[in-house]
Amino acid sequence: MTDSNSVPRRELGVEFGELAGQIEDHSYPSTSDELVEEYGDYVLELPNGTESVRDILEPASSDTYESPGEARQALFNMVDSRAIGRRYYSDRTPPALGERREDQQLSF
C-alpha cells in the first residue's frame, strides 16, 4: 500500500482526489475495462468542468497499462477539452494577424 501523502492528488491541472492513491495501489498490468469496472464512477475535477473515469477510459477498452504511471498518463491523454485552459492558445508562437496579447507592450 502506498503512503497516501506521497501521491499527488492534483497533477497537470487534473484533480484526482482519492483516486490518486487508488490508481497507485491497483494491481498491474490492468486494462482500461478493469480500471473502468473498479473506478469508473470516480470523477476527475478539470479546470473547466468534470469528467468520470468511465467517460475517459471506455473508448480505450482494450488498452493495457503496466504501471500506475501509464494509467495516469492515459487519463491525461484522453480527458476532453475541458482539461485545458484556452484552446489553441500558445505563448510560444507569434500572434495571429489582428491578435493582441496581454504581454505585448503598446507602442505610441
At residue 92, the pLDDT reads: 58
At residue 106, the pLDDT reads: 55
Q: Is the Cβ–Cβ distance between 2 and 21 less than 8 Å? A: yes
- Of residues 14 and 38, the one with the higher pLDDT is 38
* pLDDT 10s digits, 48-67: 788 899 998 988 778 999 99
From edge to edge, which strands make up the β-sheet containing 14-15? 10-11, 14-15, 43-46, 49-52
Give the burial class of 56: count Cβ atoms within 10 A of its Cβ; 0-12 exposed, 13-18 middle, 19 or more buried: buried
Cell digits for 70? 501509464
Q: Partners of 49 in the beta sheet?
A: 46
